Amino acid sequence: MYAEKGTIEVNGTCIDPKIGAYLHAYELGALPEDMSQAFEVHLLRCQHCFQELTAASSYTNLLRGDDETRRSIRSLLADTDLSAGGWTGVWRRLWPETPLVFRPLVPYLLALAIAAVAVISTLPGKSAVDKQTIRQVQAVALFPTRGASAGTFTASMGRDGVISLVYPDAGTDGRYHVTITRGDDAAPIFADAAFSFDRYKTGWISFPASAMQSGTYTVHISDLRSTAPAEERHYEFIVE
- Residues making contact with other proteins (CB under 8 A): 2-4, 21-32, 35, 37, 40-41, 43-45, 50, 53-54, 56-59, 61-66, 68-70, 72-74, 76-77, 80, 82, 84, 92, 97-99, 102
Q: Cβ 124 to other proteins, closest distance in Å?
A: 45
State the virtual CA torsion across 63, 69, 74, 77 in degrees, nearest 10.
Answer: -80
Q: Cβ 109 to other proteins, closest distance in Å?
A: 21
61 or 156, CB closer to other proteins?
A: 61
102 or 200, CB closer to other proteins?
A: 102
Q: Cβ 59 to other proteins, closest distance in Å?
A: 5
Q: Cβ 122 to other proteins, closest distance in Å?
A: 37
Q: Cβ 117 to other proteins, closest distance in Å?
A: 31
Sheet holding 233-239, edge to edge: 153-155, 233-239, 215-223, 176-182, 190-195
34 or 173, CB closer to other proteins?
A: 34
41 or 112, CB closer to other proteins?
A: 41
39 or 197, CB closer to other proteins?
A: 39
CB 224 within 8 A of CB 175: yes
How far is it between the farthest Cα atoms of the chain?
A: 109
